[in-house]
Structure 1
Amino acid sequence: AVGGRRGMEPPTPTGDAQDVQDALLVGADPEGVRLLDRSLRGLAASLTAESRPLPVVYAAWMSGNGDLHLQLAQPAGKPPAPWQQGQDQTFWMLARTDAEGYEEAETAAPYPGLVSLGTMDDSRLLLNLEAVPGIVSLSGTETDRAAVFASVAAELATNGWSDRMTITLVGFGDDLTPLAPNRIRHLDGFEDLLETMSAETRQRRGALGAAGHDSVLTGRTGPAQHTRWAPHLVLLAAQPSDEEARQLAELAADAGRLGIGYLVGTGGTDLPGAAWEMEITGEGRLLAPLLGLELDAQLLPVAQQRAVVELFTDADPGSGPGSGPEGGPGPSANTPPFLVDISEQGRPAVYARLVGSYEIIGLDTPDGERSALLHEALALLLLHREGVHPRVLSSALWPRGVTADVRDALLERL
């Protein structure tokens, strides 16, 4: 993810960054990530073909032998082949040998909020943070909590089984924006968070109601699957007061169906309004007694946080200190990434008018039968400044599918 996603070779790291890169290379399982992504998208495609909704998934277990187990919120019937029922009706299982038969599916990522919390025996647990019916609390010392929060933030920012998402961080000591500038944003405090999330919660409730959908999972299938319903995951590392926690719990009452997830830190063991409670110990164990979990936690301590950011900053020289003109400071992470002077003097050489008649100014109008598709693709990109994966773009343009050569030809022209 460090260099490949930018199409360039990152500089050779040193010091802590070198140690972190070595750990990432040793601990990473790129083949497992690829199979997880294809398996989940393949499941979504199969359910769509059968006109069945996506089930609510609370967690995924990746076993040591490569099998994938999805833990459902409630029974959802027989899964589509090659998936099988697992230990009971709330588990769906896919053997690794069957997962290897999946090819890339032109469908949206169904469960982008999955994030690794740690391992138990030889299995890794991924919690679907956006599906939790309320707040997830994390107790423990401030230092131990910070290592969990940073690990969760870093994986959400860089994982390979999602398309789009927003990650809002509050109370983080270090700026993690360089990991994914189009995903991560930092807010100063709880008041800013409450104002932001109150507005978004209202907007999502209204949008779901207008679309006739009961949850974001419904909106992730069908022709509009790539243009809406991306998750918004909130990581509040700073402990809220009891009143703030109650306000947040009220806001998060139906967050699961809205695609909004909350992970909130607390120094005690009882956070008002928490739906699920977890504790990180000084020995690196993540405990959730009510869920029957005792994991070896996935952690990212402070020194490694800074080293990971250094890796990504070095891989993208335009994002860090010293990257500005004459070696001066680069753009601040807190500076809005896109400011427009709408006067005649500030008008860009090339721009698109999307309100009213669609018009591209400053470029020749494309000719041929693909002109309309090119215009549609450009509009989609302009409206999703966080970026759009090529699979997502092609599936939005051709909901019924298209051959790879046609897709690649249009993307090349674009």
Structure 2
Amino acid sequence: MPATLPDGDPVPADGALPESALDGLGARPFACYVHVPFCVTRCGYCDFNTYTAAELGPGASRDSYADAAIAELRLARRVLGQTDLPVRTVFFGGGTPTLLPPGELGRILAAIDAEFGLAPGAEVTTEANPESVDEGYLEQLRAAGFTRISYGMQSARPHVLAALDRVHTPGRIPQVVRWARKAGFEQVNLDLIYGTPGESAADWRASLLAALETEPDHISAYALIVEEGTRLAARVRRGELAAPDDDAMADRYLMAEELLSAHGLHWYEISNWARGPHAACRHNLLYWTGADWWGIGPGAHSHVGGTRWWNVKHPAAYAARLAGGRSPAHAREVLTAAERRLERIMLELRLAEGCPAELLEDAAVRRAIADGLVEEEPYFGRGRAVLTLRGRLLADAVVRDLT
């Protein structure tokens, strides 16, 4: 969730959506995202909408956050009316959601269930920093209904973690994974970052192997992006750290594909590998396949029926709007048919399942096949464009060429 909000059209004070957004509501899958914007410290590479205790200022606190989130959930129910909308997935992201007591996270989840109803077998995920949970905390989360946990591991090398301003110790990961298993979590994900300044190929291999030793159900591996306005960007600009190298990034990705697939985790989205279809993150799949979701919290983004909106950033402004009976939405946009088609291609082409052929120009796909960027058999056999391994390395360029 980027810290800078885009411009857009005004949102009514009551949050009402255009009729076009409500057309077909309930026929599409529905999900909830909950943004918890609190962190102990700010990581040098992060540009997400997060706040340390010193940055919050008056009018906002961790203690009152759950009440504000629940107020937005009630507003969401009013806006969406009485259409049956069982929530298939819930994702608590941040920030560090697990800085809130487990009972507060559980209260928000219970409110989602009360307002909309959780679908049978709903996937309920929270992100967590390894240092922010202990065995008892995880047991309480599981008892509250959380089924999946995603740990921000990032690296197994202390000097790489230091470059990222991460505060946990590498040895903490095996411990918190064991605790999650013992507590009964159905799935455990580990997030990794590659391309950090000072990270060698050997460092990246060690991180992958350390993650695999814990036998996770899922691994997300993301290329480091140096975002403007972050401490990392300032250090790169001053020459303290080298900028990520594109060739090295490609090599890291190929290493990840080789090691993860050899250990039974297979890609289903460019940056995500799972131990079988059952272990794929269903919440993210809903994002990538055009579902509806309501984003709760400061800076959270939502999407319903081609209308997208985003909340005010600061927790104090967010809480004040809700306390005054107003929508916390900052602005919105209604996507045109052409924009929705383009977005669908951009997202679905990242998936191992690929993108339907009818969305694409046949001549462009044939060129991509000839260049070794798109698989031949799925396109001609199943009518879907699926990226090759080389195509995954050049995904942004392939998308531009195909659209």
How would you bin the TM-score normalised by the shorter chain? under 0.3
State TM-score, norm by structure 2.
Answer: 0.25
Structure 1 or 2: more helix by fraction: 2
